[in-house]
Amino acid sequence: MAANFELAKPALNVEEYADRLKELAQESEPTVFALRAKLPTQGRADMPLAATETMSVILKAYASGGENEVHAHPYEDHTFIVLQGRARFFNHEKELGTLERNQGIMLPRGAYYMFEAGTEEPLVMLRVGATTEAGRDPNDRIDVDGAYFDAFTVENKEVELLYDNNAVFE
């Protein structure tokens, strides 16, 4: 078991994200990791930390004011736990709540949601997901019309990822 306590590395597109999770899922030994990452000044960073065929652990960092668009994961239950900052969660009809440090939300498969980061400081969350249907990709996501929805697109409010090299979450 090799511990990885380096800064988490963000996946820059959907293929890299999926490939990193598949690579992590091939581990047959326990995975040790640290919740350490550079904090973005613009954009968002999704950093796969550990995975199996049925579960994933992702560290997420958003610049203040960062957000995404309403979507659902039809084959995955997942939860977010706020480690730093503040996140306002919504479904496509109403606000679900504002979460602060050490608060979380559980999203069952198929639940539509989006969130936006607060403006006071970068948002850092731990995301843990579990596949609900064998053989299906837990990372599939759909928009409100049920069409496939790539997370790394302008439609999902993706912007260039920029950093202040001195700002680190740990």
Whether pTM > 0.95 for this model: the answer is: no
Quick: pLDDT tens for 121-162: 999 999 999 998 877 776 788 888 887 776 666 565 566 778
The domain locations on the chain are: 10-159
CATH 3.90.79.10 for domain 10-159, yes or no, is no
Quick: pLDDT tens for 61-114: 999 877 778 899 999 999 999 999 999 999 988 999 999 999 999 999 999 999
How many whole angstroms separate alpha carbon 130 and alpha carbon 139? Answer: 10
Phi, psi of 19 (to 5 degrees): -65, -40
Quick: pLDDT tens for 21-46: 999 999 889 999 999 999 999 888 99
